[in-house]
Amino acid sequence: MSKSAGPLDDAGIEIDGVGKTFRWRNKGVAEEVVALGKVDFTVRSNEFLAVIGPSGCGKTTLLRTVAGLIKPDRGEIRVGGRPVTGPGEDRAVVFQHFGLFPWKTVVDNVKFPLRMRGVPDKEAAATARANLKKVGLEGFERSYPHQLSGGMQQRVGLARALATDARILLMDEPFGAIDAQTREFMQEQLMKLWDENKKTVVFVTHDLDEAVSLADRILVLSRRPSRVRAVVDVDLPRPRWDYDVRSEPAFAEARRTIWEMLRSDLVEEEEGAGIHAI
């Protein structure tokens, strides 16, 4: 695929006044949660964007709307200028819950999106193996998901998304289940992959250090009903793997800014809870 910068080839994402309210009935009583208040934001083509915000603020919901898995009930999402109406070849998702098919072997799980795109079996298998190698899972091709640890399953989910070679990677806490050492290795791998082969990455995380050390910009969401709380630029030179990012003043500064925003949200939440209790 050529990567000339034309409007159709543009891998930017416009999130235009997007809101989502979940409604359901519980024992006949109508209930609802406003998962996304009104989110306005533009993800630049080829940028590495981290998304951070309090638990339950709608990060997964936002990613699902961008992926085209659910329709927002307010606003619109455009990818490369075109409105999103459903999932597309240009986007691949790494799921927070891994989303592996338990009846398929590891290699067949990674082959799945390729087979659905009509890639011949042999070629799909070769691509799948290459991507499993990238996430350090060589030798586990024939295992079933239940035979792997949580962190290994998560890496299979990552390999599956990478194998599609989609222009946009939507990653929902992709390293959340991975142990500290493997996590550093995976972060470095991801940085290198992104450096070699430019993609737009939307990377949801709970981990402030991870957000700052990986991203170009950090989108901070408020608690529900979520809006854009702030956008923080991270001015750290790349490549970031060959020096100690964490000891840079810019790292500490970005980290502190975001930490204070998240903390004030927590304090407000407690005060809010206090008012409810009266």
Residues near ligand ATP (CB under 6 A), total: 11
Residues contacting 130, CB < 8 A, separation 6+: none
Whose Cβ is closer to other proteins: residue 91's or residue 240's? 91
**Cβ-based nearer residue to other proteins, 71 or 256:** 71
Site for other proteins in 92-121 (CB under 8 A): 92-93, 95, 97, 99, 101-104, 112-113, 116-117
41 closest CA partner among 73, 18, 9:
18
Q: Which two tokens stand for residue 78?
A: 């455009």
What does 116 bind: ligand ATP, other proteins, Mg ion, none (CB cut-off 5 to 8 Å by kind)? other proteins
Ramachandran angles phi, psi of 34, nearest 5°? -85, 100
Query: Which of 67, 74, 83 lies closest to 19 in space, CA to CA?
Result: 74
Helix and strand counts by DSSP (H, E) for the chain: 7, 10
- The one of ligand ATP, Mg ion, other proteins, none whose footprint includes residue 37, by CB under 5 to 8 A per kind, is none
Helix (H, G, I), strand (E, B) or coil at 18: strand
The residue count for the chain: 278
37/80 with CB nearer other proteins: 80
Directed axis angle between helix 150-163 and helix 106-116, to 10°?
30
Q: Which does 22 bind (CB under 5 to 8 A by kind): ligand ATP, other proteins, Mg ion, none?
A: ligand ATP
Nearest approach in angstroms of CB 50 to ligand ATP is 13
Residues 73-102 that bind ligand ATP (CB under 6 A): 96
Q: How many CB atoms lie within 10 A of CB 147?
A: 12
Question: Should residue 23 be labelled a site residue for other proteins when binding is judged by CB under 8 A?
Answer: no
User: CA 239 → CA 166, 195, 245, distances in Å?
Assistant: 22, 8, 10
Q: Which of residues 3-32 bind ligand ATP (CB under 6 A)?
A: 22
Q: Verify binding: residue 35, ligand ATP, rule CB under 6 A.
A: yes
Q: Does 204 bind other proteins (CB under 8 A)?
A: no
C-alpha to C-alpha distance for 161 and 245, rounded to whole angstroms = 27
Among 14, 39, 45, 61, binds ligand ATP (CB under 6 A): 61
Q: C-beta of 60: minimal distance to Mg ion in Å?
A: 3
Nearest distance from residue 82's CB to ligand ATP, in Å? Answer: 24
Stretch that binds ligand ATP, among 40-48, 50-58, 78-86, 122-130 (CB under 6 A): 50-58
Distance in angstroms (rounded) separating the CA atoms of residues 149 and 143? 11
Binding mask 53-82 for Mg ion (x = CB under 5 A): -------x----------------------
Cα separation, 10 vs 24, whole angstroms: 37
d(C-alpha 22, C-alpha 29), whole Å? 14
Considering the complex, what minimum distance in angstroms separates the CB of residue 143 from ligand ATP? 27
Q: Nearest 5°: CA angle at 85, between 40 and 157?
A: 85
Size of the site for Mg ion (CB under 5 A): 2
Where on the chain is the footprint of ligand ATP (CB under 6 A)?
22, 33, 35, 55-61, 96
